[in-house]
Chains A and B, each alone.
Chain A
Amino acid sequence: MSMAETAGRTAAALPEGKYFMVLWGLAENFGGMTTMCLHRAGAFSRFGGREAAIISFEPKPSYQALTDRLREQGKLAPGTQVLNVFQHYRDADLDGLPAVAQPAVPEDQGPAGQPEVVLDPSGEVFMRTIMRPDGTTVAHRRYYRPDGTEFFRDEAPVDAAGKPLGRYLTLLDRTGNAVGRWRTAGDFYRHWMRELAGGDRAVFIVDSGFAAQVVAPLDEQHILKLVVIHNSHIAGGGDPFTGKLATGRKPIFEDSAAWDGLVFLTRKQREDYELRFGRATNLFTVSNPKPRAEALPPFEGRDRRRGVMVVRLESQKNVADAVDVMALVHQKLPDVVLDVYGKGSLRDEVQARIEEQGLTEVVRLRGHAPNAAAEFETACFSLLTSRNEGQPLALMESLGRGCPPVSYDIRYGPSDVIEDGVNGFLVPARDTAAAAERVVRLCTDAELAREMGRRAWERSEAFSDTAVIGQWAAVLEQAWRQVPDRVVLSGLDFTLRELGLPAAGGLEIEGELAWRQSAGPALEDLVRANLVVGRRAGGAPVFFPAEVLERGPGRLRLRAAVTDGQLDEGVSGDNGFLDIYLQVEGNNVLHTFRIGYPGGSTWRPYATVHGSLSLQYA
């Protein structure tokens, strides 16, 4: 069925400026993050009226074959440019640029291994790498134009003892003159980004966590930087209030003030983030877009005894639970089936579970199907039993084709788009019995299934391309408005000067917050601080405002206190431990410090199990 969003440029919905979608690289086979990045670039042009280019930093000689294929498959819009920093400077005319004066690169006195060569599609040398004998450390890389001249050199010399002497990245014209020199790769990449912006208003939207480390330090008044949080911010989809931050994106959250926008895909994820860390002006929510059926597929075309899952057969997706759900459904409705589209490393394991339960005719693994989403148009229900998600696209596809979903209420995504009992069913995670009961209802109550399907399709309008570009436009307009209020700072730190432990319980802290600020309104005039009590077994932390004792340029002296009663308020019985933090917030600044004891390693007061005061060294 054709999609509602047909080709055709709309009036510019997005603010004026140049637009770039940032990936680290573009692999031959990629997943949802890159898919969404490419789609967004096309949608910005078709529905937002602004061309957007994809940019990347990986050392690759050409994307031509890949982009040709992606355009054929409709995954890359015809007008969307794909730019790469090395491909850019390989083709760039550098001969008119003035030579830069720079000290000579120190002589490399380290051992060298065999050279490795990367050719371009024409068979010309693109890159020659000299590794150290360990096979993992790069001694230097030289990059060549198609005519054989060197255009870029990346050197990491060491002295005779093997001590690193720094990194030197040099851009060369055709005669071998240095026309640019950087000491970190990030500085080189950001130089290119500034050239791309060309002094104009420019927006960089980052999808890759790795590329985010390149973009974060870019600081220009005419540039906006936003990063899309594609998955749970918590490692392994753990507890939102106590779980460790996901490793790959941890630097983003720890330096969130560097961004004009942290863009969450769902309202629920942003809420969880705010409940744990606090609020800031640079936290936004924008859904991924997902095209919907132009019209509601006819209910009469649906097989009332068939459900569909479109899912990777991987641990996170927890397809085993779907098998268990269908085992329960089968006891009441023996002719109801579930078709599972997708592949993955757990295929054999899932198939074994199906066979163990005698469900080979009930749960059918259909493998990969190029247009599996169309299956939602002829099914009576869909299932989602994942452990965690960023925003489950299969759920959006199900809604967009009028197929009511039965979904675990997991973090994140289902509760943003399903109104339980209206356009689908939400059941507690791992509650297979509840899920089975909802499937049975959809298969036995035609009016319920019809009405829910209609409501599901209606709800999907919220994540159409048009709607999502509208969300981006609103976010970007707000982000531009906030540029004058953007605080640029470094070295934000809290020093605990005194810890008080009242005998009646609770605690008091006094300390100094310090930072170095390079732009924006004075942080000392707008920052707020809170003593935060975290509950280790789960539940949102509780914030207690701190008192400002003194304000000065780049520093605040703070005091905060909490009583035993306040510590105890609302803490569930299974929570035996509380952890103490100091949180600071103001405009785009949001940071949390774990509170220890003042001073370095020393004797620290603590309470024995009998409530007596003792000291231990820590």
Chain B
Amino acid sequence: MSQPPPQAFELSKASVTADGLLTLSGTVRAVSGQADGGYSFVLAVRGGAAEREYPARTEAGAPGAVRVSCSVPLAELAAAPEDFVDLYFQARDASGSSRTRVTWQPSSLRWLPYPTKFGNLSLKRKAQ
């Protein structure tokens, strides 16, 4: 199966709520038209142990763009506490699917969030 050209996904925000819902939102600027198979987010346990796909909701955005969002109940993640889980944006059409890593906007970013060993929120300076 041939790989379709990657869809340019741009993350707007990742948020997490007290009831354990991770919400991802962003914009897709289609390189070769709308992906007819739709969009989803894939949460993959690092090392290839397991992954799970969550369909995204879409709505029209600016010309040539689609607004995409997805909510993930974190309690459903089938991963061990010592694992790390990486997030991908996936676009699927008739010719197959493509994945891109969900990222912050690294060109402008100076501070990146991380949880401390006590579970508190801190930020570390992004390596230049």
Contact = CB atoms under 8 A, between A and B. Distances in A.
Given A507-B121, A580-B123, A604-B115, A497 B18 contact: yes
Interface string B88-120: 000000000000011111101111111111111
Interface in B30-74: 43, 46, 74
Contacts of B84: 614-616
Task: Tell which of A508, A596, A612 has the most Cβ of chain B within 10 Å.
Answer: A612
A538 to B, nearest CB: 15
Interface stretch (A461-469, A547-555, A571-579): A571-579
Interface in A543-593: 564-565, 567-568, 575-580
A501 B15 contact: yes
Nearest to B10: A503
Contacts of A618: 115, 117, 119
A568 B125 CA distance: 9
| Most chain A beta-carbon neighbours within 10 Å: one of B24, B104, B117 | B104
B6 to A, nearest CB: 15
Contacts of A604: 16, 115, 119
A615 B85 contact: yes
Interface residues of B, number: 53
A583 to B, nearest CB: 15
A577 B86 contact: no
B8 interface: no
A579 B109 contact: no
A618 B118 CA distance: 8
B27 to A, nearest CB: 10
A611 B116 CA distance: 17
A601 interface: yes
B104 A503 contact: yes
A59 B107 CA distance: 67
B43 A615 contact: yes
B1 interface: no
Contacts of A565: 110
Kindly name the residue among B11, B26, B111, B126 whose own CB sees the greatest number of chain A CB atoms within 10 A.
B111
Contact of A601 (B110, B117, B119, B126): B119
Contact of B111 (A495, A578, A616): A578
Nearest to A616: B84
A173 B63 CA distance: 89
Contacts of A508: 13, 15
Contact of A611 (B10, B83, B103): B103
Interface in A499-556: 499-508, 536
A614 B85 contact: yes
- The DSSP consensus for interface residues of chain A is strand
A241 to B, nearest CB: 15
B119 A503 contact: no
A345 B55 CA distance: 71
A508 B25 CA distance: 15
Contacts, number: 171
Interface in A224-256: none
A611 B126 contact: yes
Contacts of A564: 108-111
Contacts of B101: 612-613
B45 to A, nearest CB: 10
A606 B113 contact: yes
Contacts of B87: 612-615
Contacts of B111: 505-506, 564, 567-568, 578
Contact of A607 (B10, B13, B104, B119): B104
B42 to A, nearest CB: 12
A611 B12 contact: no
A578 B123 contact: yes
B119 A505 contact: no
A617 B123 contact: no
A117 B125 CA distance: 62
Contact of A612 (B10, B17, B79, B103): B103
Contacts of A601: 119
Contacts of A575: 125
A498 B109 contact: no
Nearest to B15: A500
B115 A606 contact: yes
Given A498-B18, A500-B13, A580-B122, A505 B83 contact: no
A503 B11 contact: yes
Nearest to B127: A609
A483 to B, nearest CB: 37
Interface string A29-72: 00000000000000000000000000000000000000000000
A203 interface: no
B88 to A, nearest CB: 9
A605 B112 CA distance: 11
Residue among B86, B101, B115 with most chain A CB within 10 A: B115
A498 B108 contact: no
Contacts of B13: 500-503, 508
A575 B126 CA distance: 12
A505 B22 contact: no
A606 B111 CA distance: 11
A496 B18 contact: yes
Interface of B: 10-20, 22, 24, 26, 43, 46, 74-75, 77, 79, 81-87, 101-106, 108-127
Interface of A: 495-508, 536, 564-565, 567-568, 575-580, 594-599, 601-607, 609-618
Given A579-B116, A618-B115, 15 more contacts: A497-B18, A499-B121, A503-B105, A504-B104, A505-B112, A564-B108, A576-B124, A578-B111, A580-B122, A580-B123, A595-B121, A601-B119, A609-B127, A611-B126, A612-B101
User: Ordered nearest first, which 6 A-B pairs have the shortest CB separation?
Assistant: A607-B112, A611-B106, A598-B18, A503-B11, A617-B81, A500-B15
5 contacts: A498-B17, A597-B119, A612-B87, A613-B11, A616-B84
